[in-house]
Amino acid sequence: MNPIPDEGKVVKNQKGERVAVYTDETGKAITLSAVCPHMGCIVTWNRKDKTWDCPCHGSRFDKTGKVLSGPAEKDLPIKETGKK
């Protein structure tokens, strides 16, 4: 699967964990935990607003995982891809 620039998607990594992957305009991927730090729900990609949104309690995060609105108070953690 070829990543689409300026889009995000939740996928499973090699360890079977759900990760939130955003591919920027240059093709560089940013891999984050897909688990909302508020209550542990899995975020989804909001294609219109280009944000990661939590369907459980409404927290929103920017493309790079920074909190935009709560109730979450912590950013989505960056996940290591294992690639060098």
pLDDT tens-digit series, residues 9-34: 999 998 999 999 999 999 999 999 99
Domains of the chain: 7-69 (2.102.10.10)
- Cα 51 from chain centroid (whole Å): 8
Active site residues: 38, 57
* DSSP structure class, residue 2: P
* DSSP structure class, residue 7: E
* DSSP structure class, residue 42: B
* The model's pTM: 0.89
Contact 56, 46 (CB under 8 A): no
Task: Express each pLDDT in 29-57 by its tens digit.
Answer: 999 999 999 999 999 999 999 999 999 99
Write out the two tokens for 1: 């699967």
